[in-house]
Chain A
Amino acid sequence: MVIVVGAGATGLGIAWDLVLRGIRVTVIEQGEVGSGTSGRFHGLLHSGARYAVTDPVAAEDCWHENQVLKRIAAAAIDDTGGYFVQTHESDEAYRIRWEQGMRQMGIPYRAEALGTLSRATGESLAAFRAFYVPDAVLEGFRLLQLLQQNIRLLGGDVLVHTRLAGVNTHGGTVRGVLVEGPDGQREMAADVLINAAGPWAQNVSALIGDKLSLQLSYGLMLIFAQRRIKTVVNRLREPGDGDIIVPHREVAILGTTDIAVDEPDAPQPPIDDVIKLWQLGKDMVPGIENWRVLRAFTGVRPLYAGTANTSDPRQVSRDFKVIDHKTRQGPEGAFSVVGGKWTTFRLMAEHCVDDVCRYLGAYTPCRTDRVPLRPPQPDLHQPISPEPGDQTIYCECESVKGHQLQAMDGSLDNWRTGTWFSMGPCQGTVCAHRAVTLYCQKNPGEDYASQLRHFRHEREKGMQAAALGINARQWALQKAVRFQTLGESWDEPKGVADIATRPEKDSEEEYRT
């Protein structure tokens, strides 16, 4: 039995590879599937072009995987194509190196006439030169859902809300793990333990008894309410802040930044950085200031610097590494996978599972590059007709109907990422209380008020950091609905509605009594 820690792209990729090779696997995940970085990324299926100059290994892997994923996971990929736009003449030297890199790597690209650029991207860009590249959009939650469903179909197990709390390495070999789940602690037998805990990999490796050191950095992303751009747009220059825009379903996402952090948990997006990032976006898309922003969010990169020591996270390779802990004074049967990208998750899994097979002494070839990930039935994303069940629309922005919500399992957050309710322009203003009501009807033990409050706070984190322009009005409306119409309680945990309150006469306390 193989235990995989972490149900992000890497962990589920590994589990999928294992079940395809006939090896029994259980994935344990402390939160929800995708609650780590894999659910908090930019959504770009890299073509490798971004790393053509700075990181050739990552570039080559990305290009390879880009082609594989378009084949095996088409249902989760929106093949929009992408552009690299050079905004200033001063980036000319970089442009020449970039074209050289692209040719060397064999990544196809072509120059786009400026006259047709705004038609192709749907927006006018500040372009001096532009190139088409085979970038695409990767729908993270969708692909994670596909992986999970296919893993289960072949007998693999994914346990959510189950945290790794200890490892039994009696005699220098992995024998079992101690996990904390909804029903308390228990032990599970294990022949192999794979640490795919993303930014938490150092904590997990500590439990294994061979602590790795990761170089964590977080990135900030800004979601705009509509898909005002039709393709991926990158800025052609040394990778930097705010130089990629990705259309994603019905929104567009601008990113990102790269700021070193110590903790693996995604930090609350700071409003000052949001303002800065938005301004940066103008360099590439001058009209972006008039786009309606929706929310901001952050994700933490599980970069692995190895021995190289650099303080600038952008300098750390986007390459990945499979570590067999046995080779570094750790126990036998323990592996860690660190670094990499979403785009390269399959390749990471392949390398890792190759090593695991060798360790188990039974090598079977990898098949993940050939077996397509098929959506199982029923597919919640495509309404089946004639439509059964409750046709009432609960979430108006994303047109989520009663029967779609009722078909969901797991936590409310799972309902959200599975149906996309509350993800549209009004951010749950009109649907949160409706969905929570359904959720509580389905889960009789749950308390309506605390579920709703928890849900609001989670959503509010991203909304208030981006409550600028029209979105400030959305937030004002949401507050009025919450507190005046629905009578939700005002007392919120500190740090949510009022990060800090300016000293003034009418202090909060006076009103709260």
Chain B
Amino acid sequence: MRDFDFEDACVNCSACVSVCPVYARDFRFPGPKVLGPEWWRDSQDSRTEGQTSEFVDDCTFCQLCEDACPVGVPVAHLIAEHKRRQAKPARYRWRDYLLAHPHWIARFPQITRVPRKWTKVLGLSTRTPWPSPNRPAKVTHDLLVREKSMRVGVYGDCYTEAFDGPVLDAVIALLEAWGYESIVMPGAGSCCGAAAYAAGNAELGRRIASATAERLRRANGDTVDLMLTLNATCDSTLREEWPRFWHLSASCEVVPFTEFALEYAPLEFWHLLQRLSSDKPDLPYYVHTTCRSRVSRGTGWMEQIGQRARWTVKPLMLACCGAAGSYAFKAEHEELAREMGQLALDEGRVMTDSGTCALHLQGMTGLKASHPAYWLYKAYREAQEHVKVV
């Protein structure tokens, strides 16, 4: 059985090299073409089989290379295979094992509070900001729509559940306000497997993902047709790596929250926000579409959200902010990750569709960064207040 299509299709155009954010900054990084298709081709030759590049782990797995490739070479996935075959230095074994299980960290978010000097010993970055535990609180709110029209699942990814509680609160509250019953799936402590896969441990990734798929299947029990995601990496992992490489199914359709909002949030909701925006013009929103959502869905959804709410939106032209899952938490990537996310912004807010990217960008820019759901909900609350006052 073959995992790949078009693995031999490379026409040597270097389009992948032209978009790789790491290649543009890290002068030792050989780039996607060399680490992906060229390595793959060599790896089949009996003379060069087994050779790997010491730099392969510096790839963030943003998949921009794969998105660029005109002939559809699975560049990033070939690199993931390359990572898998690369012997890892013993020094980082424990750390990598831990970071490949973000849902463990999520079960015990307090681990992130260990003193910095310990983290150094473990090979963890001392400068990349670590998230602080922030679990969702239960909140209920006024409804815009009285009748519940549909039950939707919300994929409670490990990061959002443990460290970005307010985002999950916001989503649940918004869904309720829009008239949807929501259920957070598959329950705490699950992971889509992306972290392990991106770090070159495909087998572990598959195992973690299989367990989650099973939990999803049980949690769903055929009651949910649609599951919303709050993190672009989990989103595209569920929709792409799952069926393509692991032959797993999420048991229902997976849609990013952002696109759901554009399609299903009622008009009254937007009117309310528009009214607030025109009465009280606010700070601009800088939009960063994370690399993974750009690759799997494209750009423009968050911008549209902003436009619909009559906010001032400014798309950021970062290809990849450098956070890339657990990438920035590793000591050896710290410098590069900081360089990639380097930005000087005026006052404003940052809107991005991944918790780790938000954390990273917040550290880099000093501006509050969060998921669109957070900003929508915040504006919604303010608008309700505003309407009451007026």
Contacts and interface: CB of A to CB of B under 8 A. Distances in A.
Report if A and B touch in the complex (beta carbons < 8 A): yes
A249 B42 CA distance: 9
Interface string A468-511: 00100110010000000000000000000000000000000000
Nearest to A477: B11
Contact of B11 (A80, A226, A425): A425
B279 interface: no
Contacts of B7: 226
A493 B14 CA distance: 31
B2 A287 contact: yes
Given A227-B45, A250-B45, A396 B11 contact: no
A118 to B, nearest CB: 8
Nearest to A250: B45
A37 interface: no
A430 to B, nearest CB: 6
B12 A426 contact: yes
Contacts of B5: 290
B385 interface: no
B44 interface: yes
Main SS at interface, chain A: loop
Interface string B2-46: 100111111111000000000000000000010000101110111
Nearest to B42: A250
Interface residues of B, number: 22
A225 interface: yes
B6 A470 contact: yes
A282 interface: no
B71 A397 contact: no
Contacts of B44: 122, 226-228, 230, 250
Label chain B's interface by main secondary structure. loop
Contacts of A424: 12, 41
A292 interface: yes
B120 to A, nearest CB: 34
Contact of B13 (A124, A287, A290, A477): A477
A84 interface: no
A23 B71 CA distance: 57
Given A78-B46, A227-B45, A287-B2, A429 B8 contact: no
B41 A425 contact: yes
Interface string B33-69: 1000010111011110000000000000000000000
Contacts of A224: 8
A291 interface: yes
B38 to A, nearest CB: 7
B8 A292 contact: yes
* Contact-residue size bin, chain A (C-beta under 8 Å from the other chain): 20 to 34
A501 to B, nearest CB: 26
A470 B2 contact: no
Contacts of B40: 226
A175 to B, nearest CB: 48
A50 to B, nearest CB: 22
Interface string A222-266: 001111101000000000000000000110000000000000000
Contacts of B8: 224-226, 228, 291-292, 425, 470
Contacts of B12: 396-397, 424-426, 429-430
Contacts of B70: 473
Given A250-B44, A396-B38, A425 B2 contact: no
B45 A470 contact: no
Interface string B61-88: 0000000001100000000000000000
Contacts of B33: 396
Contacts of B38: 396-397, 399
B46 A80 contact: yes
**Most A CB within 10 A of own CB, among B7, B9, B71:** B9
Given A290-B5, A470-B6, A470-B71, A426 B41 contact: no
Interface string B174-200: 000000000000000000000000000
B45 A249 contact: yes
Nearest to A227: B44
Q: Which of the listed residues B10, B12, B47 has the most CB atoms from chain A within 10 Å of its own CB?
A: B12
Interface string A81-101: 000000000000000000000
A250 B41 contact: yes
A470 B11 contact: yes
Contacts of A78: 46-47
B11 A473 contact: yes
Interface in A412-457: 424-426, 429-430
A456 to B, nearest CB: 16
A397 B46 CA distance: 16
Between B5, B8, B41, B42, the greatest number of chain A beta carbons within 10 A of the residue's beta carbon is seen for B8
B46 to A, nearest CB: 6
B41 A226 contact: yes
A290 B5 CA distance: 8
B370 to A, nearest CB: 42
Contacts of B10: 425-426
Contacts of A80: 46
Interface in A378-400: 396-397, 399
A290 B1 CA distance: 13
Contacts of B11: 425-426, 429, 470, 473-474, 477
Contacts of B47: 78, 249
A231 to B, nearest CB: 10
A425 B40 CA distance: 13
B168 to A, nearest CB: 43
Interface in B212-242: none
A250 B39 CA distance: 11
Interface of A: 78, 80, 122, 124, 224-228, 230, 249-250, 287, 290-292, 396-397, 399, 424-426, 429-430, 470, 473-474, 477
Given A225-B8, A250-B42, A292-B6, 16 more contacts: A78-B46, A78-B47, A226-B8, A226-B41, A250-B45, A287-B2, A292-B8, A396-B12, A396-B38, A397-B12, A397-B41, A426-B11, A429-B11, A470-B71, A477-B11, A477-B13
Interface of B: 1-2, 5-13, 33, 38, 40-42, 44-47, 70-71
21 contacts: A78-B47, A224-B8, A225-B9, A225-B41, A226-B44, A227-B41, A227-B44, A227-B45, A228-B44, A249-B47, A396-B12, A397-B38, A424-B41, A425-B12, A426-B10, A426-B12, A430-B12, A470-B9, A473-B11, A473-B71, A474-B11
